[in-house]
């Protein structure tokens, strides 16, 4: 019999009491308050904690865990709106709540892992053999929820989660139960899923660089993978003539699989290969269809999203799975402190020497006021436009001040910075937001960057990966031509970057610019020119970077 390698809590007496009779446990769960979800979640956690440290029969434990499923889902769902528009680094209380949600799902996973462990010790009874696939699938499902909550919150996932996922699959595979269909209830009704499908889906989520995704995109990716996971294979043959889209699974590691190298030894019989080459080809087809003008709804992706957001998501997945991107420059360790501000409006304010432009010369408009535009989700953060929702130009919201925070530089390259913060930052942002970075030896000059990834470290620390897109910026204002009532918006004129073959461009809040549309562009010296948006270079949930051309009347 193969050994089951998973982590489970040690047996001990808990100070919390818990009902172990399914009949009375059902009645207690039904009595939990539907109003005070915080208290209900706390009681659920205490009960699961106690159950997972008691000796119970596998069948009894499996039945009890099934009773907790719906109350736990309802409690967790009630907390999710609190995260819907949060910026990062998260406030301490929200971070603690995210970690608590992970712990809830981790205790559910512990319960099902204990069932599998009991089966591994007493394999022969028929009833226990019958429980192997359902217990393993449910354990993987809750480990997946732990991962999703960690990725959504940009928190490090708990140690051992990936190793447990590998161990559970390997055990089910040893007994030939990895493809057995398990009935589950989801939004679409009763469906079937196997241990192999659940495992492959979790692996593909980890490979997709979720810490580099815009806020909450990992949830959409996870649903997308549920629809297309059968295009991802998993087998024992390690060597490949073409390793594109292939990843090496080592069950002894606590990490998602890395890309498969060409010179991998196949003597280790525990190694597996995850082959996503067919999915890579499908993603390529989807991208071409979108670029030809087809609507995202016509692709039948299994998820709902806007055409532009869908294109961006599929492009990120294609790059991640095809391994088409790699670091082009080496990192140099450096220890210095930089000043950071977040958002186009904040950068506009600081590069203007705290003196906003006026809109003189733009028709008969009132003077341009920086605090009339753009603005803060909380504490003057840039307005965030959800990628999976229709959006218009950001609504005017007053923002009287903009903040600067101090961050530590850990390493640098010609195109990026690794920043860290150990305290409680006053400047908050999301993946995809624009950052202004001012070094101590370039006071008054702000480099422009985009947040590419975000990850919490320890109890308070955070790390941020920033791609630098311009060494400098000039403040400008934009106002839609032909609309006398349009509000002028702050923007930044970025100089050309010859090394990156990037022409001069304009950076503005998301929703302000439309390709093919004309704008009046007012510079710092109050000169005005009419420009047309020619092409988009970059688009995230909060900013757009475009190329403009002069319009000659």
Give the HSE-up count for residue 69: Cα atoms under 13 Å, Cβ half-sphere.
17
Q: Which residue has the higher pLDDT, 330 or 17?
A: 17
Express each pLDDT in 345-385 by its tens digit: 999 999 987 765 554 333 333 333 333 323 332 333 333 33
CB 44 within 8 A of CB 75: yes
List the structure tokens of 236.
Answer: 């024992």
> How many CB atoms within 10 Å of residue 258?
13
CA 279 distance to own-chain centroid: 20
**Does 85 have pLDDT greater than 80?**
no
Paired sense of beta strands 405-413 and 272-275, if any? unpaired
Express each pLDDT in 185-237 by its tens digit: 765 567 889 999 999 999 999 999 998 888 889 999 999 999 999 999 998 87
Q: Which residue has the higher pLDDT, 10 or 165?
A: 165
Q: How far is CA 11 from CA 53, 136, 160, 408, in A?
A: 4, 21, 19, 43
Give the HSE-up count for residue 524: Cα atoms under 13 Å, Cβ half-sphere.
13
Question: φ, ψ for residue 196 (rounded to 5)?
Answer: -65, -45
Sorting pLDDT into bands at 50, 70 and 90, what band is 123? Answer: low
Express each pLDDT in 445-462 by its tens digit: 899 999 998 888 766 678
Rounded (10°) CA dihedral 134, 136, 139, 142: -70
d(CA 473, CA 465) in angstroms, rounded, equals 20
Q: How long, in residues, is the chain?
A: 553
Report the run of H or E that residue 537 belongs to, with start and end. strand 528-539
Q: Which residue has the higher pLDDT, 489 or 515?
A: 489
> How many CB atoms within 10 Å of residue 242?
9
d(CA 90, CA 149) in angstroms, rounded, equals 13
> How many CB atoms within 10 Å of residue 514?
14
d(CA 71, CA 230) in angstroms, rounded, equals 31
Task: Look at residues 500, 510, 498, 522 and name the one whose alpha carbon lies nearest to residue 546.
Answer: 510
pTM (2 decimals)?
Answer: 0.79
Residue 364, burial from CB neighbour count under 10 angstroms (0-12, 13-18, 19+): exposed
List the structure tokens of 114.
Answer: 């204990």
Mean pLDDT score, 304-324? 85
Query: How many angstroms separate the first and last alpha carbons of the chain?
Result: 81
d(CA 7, CA 4) in angstroms, rounded, equals 10
Sorting pLDDT into bands at 50, 70 and 90, what band is 498? Answer: confident
**Does 423 have pLDDT greater than 80?**
no
Most confident of 26-40, 94-108, 350-364: 94-108
Scanning 250-300, the segments in alpha helix (DSSP H) are 277-291
Give the HSE-up count for residue 465: Cα atoms under 13 Å, Cβ half-sphere.
13
Name the β-bridge partners of 300.
none
pLDDT at 108: 97
Q: What percent of the chain has pLDDT over 70?
A: 84
Q: How far is CA 135 from CA 180, 197, 553, in A?
A: 12, 14, 71
């Amino acid at each position: 019999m193969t050994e089951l390698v998973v982590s489970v809590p040690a047996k001990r007496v808990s100070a919390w009491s818990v009902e172990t009779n399914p009949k009375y446990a059902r009645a207690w769960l039904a009595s939990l308050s539907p109003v005070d979800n915080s208290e209900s979640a706390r009681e659920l956690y205490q009960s699961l904690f106690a159950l997972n440290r008691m000796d119970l029969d596998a069948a009894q434990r499996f039945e009890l865990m099934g009773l907790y499923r719906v109350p736990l889902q309802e409690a967790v769902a009630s907390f999710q709106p609190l995260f819907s528009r949060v910026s990062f680094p998260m406030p301490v209380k929200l971070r603690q709540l995210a970690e608590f949600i992970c712990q809830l799902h981790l205790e559910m996973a512990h319960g099902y892992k204990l069932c599998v462990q009991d089966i591994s010790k007493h394999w022969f009874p028929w009833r226990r053999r019958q429980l192997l696939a359902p217990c393993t699938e449910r354990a993987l499902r809750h480990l997946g929820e732990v991962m999703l909550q960690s990725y959504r919150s940009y928190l490090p996932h708990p140690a051992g989660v990936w190793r447990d996922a590998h161990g559970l699959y390997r055990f089910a595979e040893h007994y030939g139960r990895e493809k057995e269909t398990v009935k589950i209830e989801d939004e679409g009704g009763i469906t079937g899923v196997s241990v192999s499908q659940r495992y492959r889906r979790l692996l593909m989520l980890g490979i997709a660089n979720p810490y580099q995704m815009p806020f909450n995109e990992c949830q959409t990716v996870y649903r997308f993978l549920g629809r297309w996971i059968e295009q991802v294979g998993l087998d024992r043959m390690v060597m490949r003539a073409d390793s594109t889209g292939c990843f090496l699974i080592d069950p002894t590691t606590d990490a998602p699989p890395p890309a498969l190298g060409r010179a991998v030894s196949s003597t280790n019989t525990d190694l597996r290969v995850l082959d996503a080459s067919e999915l890579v080809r499908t993603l390529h087809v989807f991208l071409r269809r979108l670029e030809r003008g087809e609507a995202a709804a016509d692709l039948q992706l299994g998820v709902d999203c806007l055409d532009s957001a869908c294109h961006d998501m599929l492009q990120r997945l294609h790059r991640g799975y095809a391994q088409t991107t790699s670091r082009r420059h080496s990192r140099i360790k450096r220890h210095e402190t930089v000043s950071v501000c977040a958002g186009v409006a904040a950068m506009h304010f600081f590069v203007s020497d705290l003196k906003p432009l006026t809109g003189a010369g733009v028709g008969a408009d009132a003077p341009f006021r920086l605090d009339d535009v753009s603005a803060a989700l909380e504490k003057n953060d840039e307005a965030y436009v959800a990628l999976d929702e229709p959006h218009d130009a950001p609504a005017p919201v007053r923002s009287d001040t903009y903040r600067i925070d101090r961050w530590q530089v850990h390493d640098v390259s010609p195109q990026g910075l690794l920043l860290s913060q150990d305290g409680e930052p006053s400047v908050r942002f999301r993946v995809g937001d624009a950052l202004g970075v001012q070094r101590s030896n370039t006071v008054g000059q702000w480099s422009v960057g985009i947040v590419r990834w975000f990850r919490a470290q320890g109890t308070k620390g955070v790390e941020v990966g920033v791609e630098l897109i311009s060494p400098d910026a000039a403040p400008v204002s934009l106002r839609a031509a032909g609309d006398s009532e349009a509000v002028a918006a702050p923007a930044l004129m970025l100089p050309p970057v010859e090394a990156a073959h990037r022409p001069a461009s304009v950076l503005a809040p998301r929703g302000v610019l439309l390709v093919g549309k004309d704008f009046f562009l007012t510079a710092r010296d109050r000169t005005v020119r009419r420009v047309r948006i020619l092409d988009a270079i970059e688009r995230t949930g909060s900013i757009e970077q475009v190329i403009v051309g002069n319009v000659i009347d």
